[in-house]
Every structure is written in structure tokens, then in C-alpha cells.
Amino acid sequence: MSSTERTRVLILISGSGTNLQAIIDSQAKGELNIDIVGVISDRPDAYGLQRAAKAHIHTEIIDYKSHKSRKSFDAALTALLTKLHPDLIVLAGYMRILAEATVNAYEGKLLNVHPSLLPAYPGLNTYARALAAGEIWHGSTVHFVVPELDAGPPILQYRVKITANETEAALQARVQQGEYIIYPQAINWFTEGRITYGDGQASVDGKILTKPFIINEIE
């Protein structure tokens, strides 16, 4: 992809769309050389759909509850992905696990942000689990998506130091502020051809990434 060609980005959401908004804002500022070709939600009541509509971005709803089977839902999503033919698919608070066939079809073109310092705490309830374990650090990770849940190679991490008497809500708010920084950054690196995926590994500027880049919260 040339430096002048805009990357076709498709964003999948399930909820409020705060990371979607961060990406929209970065694009509006001229920080991302992308066209957001669509926002897909698996929930018709997701507030992120309103954010997209306000930014005049095409939206689609594939309501999981309206499909009789997982196979039917996956087929509808596959058809829509084919129609929109994105260069990059961004999962921004998308709470459905993609079918293995979908992940394989878009290998190296799928990014996710997960609220933990992967490989620690894959899955749900990461803030509560980190606090219960007495962790010193928590954060979020942008990573390539592979069929195994939250197991793709990490690219960028944002770390915050857990304070004394930290609440789950306060920790989540701090971590999410970092996501609004690292997600657009990772997308930018993708559009510039700086980050790539192959053989189960992420590379940056042609070199295999043995550990993610880390940005610490500014105190």
C-alpha cells in the first residue's frame, strides 16, 4: 500500500464505542491515513452506532440474538466483511469471539485492544482479577488477533501503576485513557506498513517483536 493510498478500516463494536471515538477523533485531526468504511455492531442498542452516525460513517447491525445459530451469525458477518473488503479490521470493544475461519481469512489484518498486560489475564474481568491478585501494574495491550482468545502477539502496551486502595472503576478509567493513545498509534503503524504479522509473530520495521512497546502513564 502506497503512502498516499488510504487504508480501508472496518471497526467492530458491541458497546459504547469510546475506542471508536478515539479513532474517529484521530482521523479527524489528520493523524490517521484511513477511511473508516463501516462500523458493525452485534447489538442494535450499542451507543457506538450513534457515534459513527454522527461522524457520517456507514453502520451495519448483525444482531446476534436474531440469528438461530452461531453458524448463521458467522455467515452474515462473513458476507458483510466480503462486501466492505477492508484492509484492516479493528475490534473496539467487540464482545463476540470471531470464527476461526474469519480470523484465518483476515490473518495479519485484525487488531484488538485487551484490558490487561497480555499474556496476563486473558478473557473477562481483568481489572477485578488484577486487583485481587495484588498486582503492581495493570494496563492494556494492542495485539494481532489469532484464533486463540487474546493470544495474538502484542504490539503496544499502556501501563499504569496500581495505587493503594484502587477501585476497579478507577483503574478501568485510567487504563482506558491509555487505550485511546495506543490504539490509534498501532493503527497508524499498520497504515504505514511498519507492523506486520507472519508465522505467529509480529514484526516492526522488518524485525520480529520479541516484546511489546510499553508506554507508561505519566504521573
In a domain, 25, yes or no: yes
Q: Any residues with CB less than 8 A from the CB of 22 and at least 6 apart, and which? A: 179, 180, 183, 184
In a domain, 189, yes or no: no
In a domain, 146, yes or no: no
In a domain, 72, yes or no: yes
Mean pLDDT, rounded, for 195-215: 97
Provide the whole-model pTM.
Answer: 0.96
58 is catalytic: no
User: Is 94 in the same domain as 14?
Assistant: yes
Using 50, 70 and 90 to split pLDDT, how confident is the model at 4?
A: low
Q: Give the SS3 label for residue 218.
A: coil
Side-chain-side CA neighbours of residue 14 (13 Å): 9
User: Is 198 in the same domain as 165?
Assistant: yes
User: Is 36 in the same domain as 61?
Assistant: yes
Averaged confidence pLDDT in the chain: 96
Q: Which three cell numbers stand for residue 12?
A: 467492530
Supply the angle between the helices 168-191 and 18-28 in degrees, to the nearest 10: 40
How many domains, the chain?
Answer: 2
> Which among 19, 77, 11, 64 has a CA at the least distance from the CA of 39?
11
Among 56, 67, 114, 143, the one annotated catalytic: 114
Tell me the residue range of the domain where 170 lies.
114-141+155-182+194-219
